[in-house]
Structures are given as structure tokens and as C-alpha cells.
């Protein structure tokens, strides 16, 4: 073997140079060689020489050799060297070795060397297989993430974490452009100098990326992919003139090539761009890689499109750096819980508050609509635990001041997949000596139609703990009626989109509130209306049988100390004059209508009952009870008579409809009169 090494030392350079000349004749390998800078090619040859010598070492253990060959094989797979050409090129190499040193060494060592070269090729091929397996695994994970995607931010964080763990990907990032076409990375990982270094470098040092063709920084892969809608590559940052702006950064971060994937449904304008960076030149162009990337793009495109229709993704891209700032705020005591009273409509008192998160950022108070969606899942857990701790501490203060208030707090959908939320709740209740029944968790739904087994199990644990559960935002589009029946909620909160009344739909809006309340009650749940911002609506809700109300008309969310003052003060919402309001009358009408509807549904029964003359008057009064809706007088009597006469004909009869139309008119008129009188005073 010693003579072999000596012979190789003399000729390895020649062998390798010849080898590369031959390699340049293989079509796919040539493409790879062509995109290397001179320096890179020289480096590659140097490594090849080292490798030829290493294989000739007499003491080379099989394990060490295998590791080395696998490592090199993985690089070959990652730069996209074609598998067949790999095998052919190894043949060429072997032949060259024979030809150039075959005569000067013993046949014994030559055959050992040749065997080692063959195993080397076999191990390299094994490395190809492992890269392919890893691609399969990544695709499977991504598929799961795509199916389970509930929110954009969480989704991109998961995608990035999965891709960054994949061998072929040295760094990756997802982002979107703003209105000016400046591109912002929203999530990313990898790069030579630690996970966020790359993004910070790319986004803060004037290496701004644009998606506009007329922008000086618009010709990078991101910009081109945004405009073309196709994957765009940088095969080598060191040689590609289009990305000269980023050459230095890329080198510093150890990024040699990249591909930009526009994410969208086929044929649509991109919604976001995924960048994958490789530590090697090549830009993900091998046939396996192209297939991998196409699948990846399709999967992620579907998810992003779905998330866009669902969330609207109306919120502008939040740069990674801002997200990190917010996440840091959550962890550094900038969280300030505010409290909004919930009014019990039966008692007219507030015995409960909803805790709502705000973030103090200098002299700005950030609202959840701004920061919530941009938080990663661990930040949300932190927000929950810190928010709950604060709320329970504040509750203890109020209690000390003589106000025993219930606290309600928002539980993000992710809490049903993550037992840490439950653990935090149990520990905090104990730590603050809060009876569990004084805490309500408001569960916001994700888009899934029904809960899986694991999620049900976590809900069951919360129930067993004794906290109350509320279904938040019913009717906001996120929550299905089916879940009402299925899930163990104590409260239903009707979204303000439904309770927001006004204009011509008022009557129907009240009808919906009324029916949802009846449905809730019949399922054994209490019902609260959110976003109540007018006094007359409160009275109407009480008439409709709604149990609770929350909204600006009662009080806005406020800091803990203000709440103590508020509760100690009035804490009772005045409803003077509201009884005469249009909404109150309409609410009474709706309740009345429901009663009459039942009778009208049985024309025969109505006819028989009403046929008994002596029963007629008292029955009419009992059935119709228009007294609550219209002021006494001729009009009311006339309408009542008409309705009674029409009743046996059923609800579809012309007579019934005409009488109803008259009733509606009279309600409007009476309400206008009441308003005018109120203004006159």
C-alpha cells in the first residue's frame, strides 16, 4: 500500500484533472461544473485528491471509509449530481487510476484499492437513498402540517421548522411583500451564524428585497418568482450576476445556492414566497430535487390559498424582527391584561369580567388584533400563562376589596392540542387559591369541523378540573352549530357580527339571537351576546331571554384598578327609556310571534278554540298579548281582531300576511312616536 500512496501522490493531480475533463463530457455533470467559480472548482479538485489518498491509507477502517463516502455521497446528492452519472464517473475514475499508476504498484494493492473504490461508490449510492428517504419524510410531515393548518403564522413557523431540519436545506424563509413591493421575511431558520442571523442580515443591512421588476433589488430569485409564478433559482451566489447584491451576505452565511417558490393555487398570483438555501452550488436542480420541490410547492400552495380565504390574510406581512420584538415583549412583563365587565341580564349586575391582552410598547398599547396572529405557538402559551396569572392575581385584589368576581379568559385553539395549557391552568388556580368554577375559558374555534380524540380528551380534562367553558364567537364563521351540540360548553358567546344590529336587517338579526338563545337553552347552556354597543339593544336582549351581555355600552375593557372602581361604583347599567325603544318592541314582537306561530301551525285547533264564543276575548288577549308591543287603543284592537280572524287560515294566508304587515307598520309608528316624545323631554 505504501508504494500505492507514493504513486498516487505523484499522479493524483493528473488523475483528477483528467477525471474532470471526462466528467465535463457527461451532460448533467457538465451543467454542474459550469456553474462553479474557478475557486470553487479548484477547491473541489483539491478535495478529490485528498479523497483518493485517503482511500489508499493502509489502516483505513471500513467504518471510517463508509462515513466518509456517505458524507461525500450526500453532498453529491444535494448538488444534484445525477445518480447514473455518478456511477459512470466512478468507473472513469477507476480506469484512470489503472491507466496512470497501474504499472508502478503491486497487483495486490491495486486490487485492494479497486475494491475500496467500488465500495466507495456503493456507499455514496446509499447516501443518495437516505437523502431521498429524508425528502419523503419531509413531504409527509409537510402534508400533515398542511392539513392541520389553522392560522398563517403558526403554519409558516411549522413549515420552516420542518424544512430547516432537512439535510438538503441549509436555511429557509417565508415572507410576503408589502404594498410598496418590498419583501419581508416573516419566518425563517438556518444560515451559518445561528438561526435568525441570516434574516436579520438580509432584512436590516440594506439588502432589501423587492418584487418589482423596476427596482434595483428586484432581480433576485424572490422578485423573479413573485412575477413569474414559477420556481426561480440562484444556482450559485458567487457566479450569478443577478444576485450580486447578496453575494457577500450569502458567502458569510454559507449559502451557495437557492430556489424561490411562489406559493399559491395554480395559475393565481403568489401569496407568499418560500426560499430554500443550499450550502452547495446547484440550486436544487437534480431530478429528484425538482420533483421534491414541485410537490412541496403544490402542498404549500394549497394551504396558503386555504388560509387566505379563511383568515383573509388581510394583515400586512409582519417582518420577522417585529415579530421577535413582540414575542420578547410578551416575555418581559409588557403584558397588561384589561378587563371588560360581563353583565347578567337577569340581575342587572356585573359579576364577571373577560380578561383581554394588551402589550405595552413604549407609549403605545398594542391591541390583540395587531400582535396576536403574529405570535408563534410558544409565545401564545406564554401569553396565556402570564395573562392568567395576572388575571388571577387581580381577582385576588378585587376579592380583598370585597368584590368576588368571576374571570373569563381566552384560550387559543392550539390549547386543545397542547397539554401545557391545561397544566398551567391547574397550577395557577392552585397558586392563587381560585376556585375553579370562578374561571371560564373561552374557546375560540379553529376551522376544523369537529374535534379529534386528543382535543376532546383535553377539553374533558378542563371539565374535570371544574372550570367553565365558553364557546367564543359563535356565528363568526369559525364555529359550527354541530359543535354546540357535541361539546361540553357552559356558555355560548354570540359574536358581535350577529348581535350588531342596525338598518333593515334588525328584525332578522334579533330573530337569530332569539333562536340561538333558545337553542342554547334547550341544550342546557347559557347565552351571552358580545359587542353590545347600544342601550336599547340591552333591553331587547333581556326580552329575548339572553343571559348575559358584553359591550361598550356597558363598559370598555379597562385596567384592573379602574375596574375595581367601576364595579364599586354604579356597576348597574341604566336602561331608562329603553323599554319604549324600537328594539325592545321588536324583541317583544319576536317572542310573541313565536308563540302565535305555534298556534297558527295548527289551524284546526285554533279554529276549534276560537269557535267557542265566550272564550274568544280572554283567549285573544292571552294568545295575542299585543299589549306589550303596541299602546292600547283603536289601532291595537283592530290589528288584534284582524290577526285573530286570519289565524285559522294559517300563516301562508293572504289575510294573515296583511294583518302582520299592518302590525309591523304600527310597531314602527309607535316607536317613532316614543322617540319623538323622549326627545321632546
- Where do contacts with ligand C2E occur on this chain (CB under 6 A)? 340, 356-357, 367-369, 372, 383, 387, 410, 412, 442, 444, 472-473, 496, 530-533, 550-552, 557
- Toward ligand C2E, which CB reaches closer, 364 or 657? 364
Where along the sequence are the contacts to Ca ion (CB under 5 A)?
A: 410, 442, 472-473, 530
Other residues' Cβ atoms within 10 Å of the Cβ of residue 228: 12
Taking the complex as a whole, how short is the minimal distance between the CB of residue 380 and ligand C2E, in angstroms?
Answer: 6
DSSP code of residue 558: B
Please state whether beta strands 526-529 and 548-549 pair in parallel, antiparallel, or not at all (unpaired): parallel
Please state whether beta strands 171-177 and 272-278 pair in parallel, antiparallel, or not at all (unpaired): antiparallel
Name the binder of 340 from Ca ion, ligand C2E, none, CB < 5-8 A by kind. Answer: ligand C2E
Name the binder of 387 from Ca ion, ligand C2E, none, CB < 5-8 A by kind. Answer: ligand C2E
Taking the complex as a whole, how short is the minimal distance between the CB of residue 559 and ligand C2E, in angstroms?
Answer: 13
**Cβ-contact 261, 297 below 8 angstroms:** yes
- Toward Ca ion, which CB reaches closer, 385 or 609? 385
Taking the complex as a whole, how short is the minimal distance between the CB of residue 473 and ligand C2E, in angstroms?
Answer: 6
- Toward ligand C2E, which CB reaches closer, 387 or 520? 387
- Toward ligand C2E, which CB reaches closer, 342 or 600? 342
3-class SS letters over 663-678: HHHHHHHHHHHHHHHH
- Toward Ca ion, which CB reaches closer, 221 or 532? 532
- Toward ligand C2E, which CB reaches closer, 70 or 467? 467
How far is the C-alpha of 664 from the C-alpha of 656, rounded, in Å? 12
Q: For residue 527, what is the enclosing H or E element?
A: strand 526-529
Name the binder of 164 from Ca ion, ligand C2E, none, CB < 5-8 A by kind. Answer: none
How far is the C-alpha of 82 from the C-alpha of 376, rounded, in Å? 39
Q: What is the gyration radius of the CA atoms in the chain, in angstroms?
A: 36
**Cβ-contact 551, 531 below 8 angstroms:** yes
How far is the C-alpha of 307 from the C-alpha of 155, rounded, in Å? 9
Taking the complex as a whole, how short is the minimal distance between the CB of residue 512 and Ca ion, in angstroms?
Answer: 16
Nearest to 678 by CA among 569, 541, 577: 577
Name the binder of 368 from Ca ion, ligand C2E, none, CB < 5-8 A by kind. Answer: ligand C2E
**Cβ-contact 619, 610 below 8 angstroms:** yes
- CA distances from residue 256 to 252, 280, 289 in whole angstroms, order as listed: 10, 5, 16
Taking the complex as a whole, how short is the minimal distance between the CB of residue 365 and ligand C2E, in angstroms?
Answer: 11
Taking the complex as a whole, how short is the minimal distance between the CB of residue 531 and Ca ion, in angstroms?
Answer: 8
- Toward ligand C2E, which CB reaches closer, 12 or 356? 356
Sequence-distant (≥ 6) Cβ neighbours of residue 392 within 8 angstroms: 407, 428, 429, 431, 432, 434, 439
- Toward ligand C2E, which CB reaches closer, 210 or 410? 410
Taking the complex as a whole, how short is the minimal distance between the CB of residue 370 and ligand C2E, in angstroms?
Answer: 9
How far is the C-alpha of 544 from the C-alpha of 530, rounded, in Å? 15
Taking the complex as a whole, how short is the minimal distance between the CB of residue 375 and ligand C2E, in angstroms?
Answer: 9
- Of all residues in the shown chain, the one whose CB is closest to Ca ion is 442
Taking the complex as a whole, how short is the minimal distance between the CB of residue 367 and ligand C2E, in angstroms?
Answer: 5
- CA distances from residue 512 to 481, 506, 515, 540 in whole angstroms, order as listed: 13, 10, 5, 13
Taking the complex as a whole, how short is the minimal distance between the CB of residue 641 and ligand C2E, in angstroms?
Answer: 42
Name the binder of 412 from Ca ion, ligand C2E, none, CB < 5-8 A by kind. Answer: ligand C2E
Residue 400's DSSP bridge partners are none
Taking the complex as a whole, how short is the minimal distance between the CB of residue 550 and ligand C2E, in angstroms?
Answer: 6
Sequence-distant (≥ 6) Cβ neighbours of residue 173 within 8 angstroms: 160, 185, 187, 188, 189, 198, 199, 202, 274, 275, 320
- Toward Ca ion, which CB reaches closer, 231 or 412? 412
Please state whether beta strands 272-278 and 468-474 pair in parallel, antiparallel, or not at all (unpaired): unpaired
- Toward ligand C2E, which CB reaches closer, 354 or 593? 354
Nearest to 585 by CA among 673, 465, 650: 673
- Toward Ca ion, which CB reaches closer, 257 or 410? 410
Amino acid at each position: 500500500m505504501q508504494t500505492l500512496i507514493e504513486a498516487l501522490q505523484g499522479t493524483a493531480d493528473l488523475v483528477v484533472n483528467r477525471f474532470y475533463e471526462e466528467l465535463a463530457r457527461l451532460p448533467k455533470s457538465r451543467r454542474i461544473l459550469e456553474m462553479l467559480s474557478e475557486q470553487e472548482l479548484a477547491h473541489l479538485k483539491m478535495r478529490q485528491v485528498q479523497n483518493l489518498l485517503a482511500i489508499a491509507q493502509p489502516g483505513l477502517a471500513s467504518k471510517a471509509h463508509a462515513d466518509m463516502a456517505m458524507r461525500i455521497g450526500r453532498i453529491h446528492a444535494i448538488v444534484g449530481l445525477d445518480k447514473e452519472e455518478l456511477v459512470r464517473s466512478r468507473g472513469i475514475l477507476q480506469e484512470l487510476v489503472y491507466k496512470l499508476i497501474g504499472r508502478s504498484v503491486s497487483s495486490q494493492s491495486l486490487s485492494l484499492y479497486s475494491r475500496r473504490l467500488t465500495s466507495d461508490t456503493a456507499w455514496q449510492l446509499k447516501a443518495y437513498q437516505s437523502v431521498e428517504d429524508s425528502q419523503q419524510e419531509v413531504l409527509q410531515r409537510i402534508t400533515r402540517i398542511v392539513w392541520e393548518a389553522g392560522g398563517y403564522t403558526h403554519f409558516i413557523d411549522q413549515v420552516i421548522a420542518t424544512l430547516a431540519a432537512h439535510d438538503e436545506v441549509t436555511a429557509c424563509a417565508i415572507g410576503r411583500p408589502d404594498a410598496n413591493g418590498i419583501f419581508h421575511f416573516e419566518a425563517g431558520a438556518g444560515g451559518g451564524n445561528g438561526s435568525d442571523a441570516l434574516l436579520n442580515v438580509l432584512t436590516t443591512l440594506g439588502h432589501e428585497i423587492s418584487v418589482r421588476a423596476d427596482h434595483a433589488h428586484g432581480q433576485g430569485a424572490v422578485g423573479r418568482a413573485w412575477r413569474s409564478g414559477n420556481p426561480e433559482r440562484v444556482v450559485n451566489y458567487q457566479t450569478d450576476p443577478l444576485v450580486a447584491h447578496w453575494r457577500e451576505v450569502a458567502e458569510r452565511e454559507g449559502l451557495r445556492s437557492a430556489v424561490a417558490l411562489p406559493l399559491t393555487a395554480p395559475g393565481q398570483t403568489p401569496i407568499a414566497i418560500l426560499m430554500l438555501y443550499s450550502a452547495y452550488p446547484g440550486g436544487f436542480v437534480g431530478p429528484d430535487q425538482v420533483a421534491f420541490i414541485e410537490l412541496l410547492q403544490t402542498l404549500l400552495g394549497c394551504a396558503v390559498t386555504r388560509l387566505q380565504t379563511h383568515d383573509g390574510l388581510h394583515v400586512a406581512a409582519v417582518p420577522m424582527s417585529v415579530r421577535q420584538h413582540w414575542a420578547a415583549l410578551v416575555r418581559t412583563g409588557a403584558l397588561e391584561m384589561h378587563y371588560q365587565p360581563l353583565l347578567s341580564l337577569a340581575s342587572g349586575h356585573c359579576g364577571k369580567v373577560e380578561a383581554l391582552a394588551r402589550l405595552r410598547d413604549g407609549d403605545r398599547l398594542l391591541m390583540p388584533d395587531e400582535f396576536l396572529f403574529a405570535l408563534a405557538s410558544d409565545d401564545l402559551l406564554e401569553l396565556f400563562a402570564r395573562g392568567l396569572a395576572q388575571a388571577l392575581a387581580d381577582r385576588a385584589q378585587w376579592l380583598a376589596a370585597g368584590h368576588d368576581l368571576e374571570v373569563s379568559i381566552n384560550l387559543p385553539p392550539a390549547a386543545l392540542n397542547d397539554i401545557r395549557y391545561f397544566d398551567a391552568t391547574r397550577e395557577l388556580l392552585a397558586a392563587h387559591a381560585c376556585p375553579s368554577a370562578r374561571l371560564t375559558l373561552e374557546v375560540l374555534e379553529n376551522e376544523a369541523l369537529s374535534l379529534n380524540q386528543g382535543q376532546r380528551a383535553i377539553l374533558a380534562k378542563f371539565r374535570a378540573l371544574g372550570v367553565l367553558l365558553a364557546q367564543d364567537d359563535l356565528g363568526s364563521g369559525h364555529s359550527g352549530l354541530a359543535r354546540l351540540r357535541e361539546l361540553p360548553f357552559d356558555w355560548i358567546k354570540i359574536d358581535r357580527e350577529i348581535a350588531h344590529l342596525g338598518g333593515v336587517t334588525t328584525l332578522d338579526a334579533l330573530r337569530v339571537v332569539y333562536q340561538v338563545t333558545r337553542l342554547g337553552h334547550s341544550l342546557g347552556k347559557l347565552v351571552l351576546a358580545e359587542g353590545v354597543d347600544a342601550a336599547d339593544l340591552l333591553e331587547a336582549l333581556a326580552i329575548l331571554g339572553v343571559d348575559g351581555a358584553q359591550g361598550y355600552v356597558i363598559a370598555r375593557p379597562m385596567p384592573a384598578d379602574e375596574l375595581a372602581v367601576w364595579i364599586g361604583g354604579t356597576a348597574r347599567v341604566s336602561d331608562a327609556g329603553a323599554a319604549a325603544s324600537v328594539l325592545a318592541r321588536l324583541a317583544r314582537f319576536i317572542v310573541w310571534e313565536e308563540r302565535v306561530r305555534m298556534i297558527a301551525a295548527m289551524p284546526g285547533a285554533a279554529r276549534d278554540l276560537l269557535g267557542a264564543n265566550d272564550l274568544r276575548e280572554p283567549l285573544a288577549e292571552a294568545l295575542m298579548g299585543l299589549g306589550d308591543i303596541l299602546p292600547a287603543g283603536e289601532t291595537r284592537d283592530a290589528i288584534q281582531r284582524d290577526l285573530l280572524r286570519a289565524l285559522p287560515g294559517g300563516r301562508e294566508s293572504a289575510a294573515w300576511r296583511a294583518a302582520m304587515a299592518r302590525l309591523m307598520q304600527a310597531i314602527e309608528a309607535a316607536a317613532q312616536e316614543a322617540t319623538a316624545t323622549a326627545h321632546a323631554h
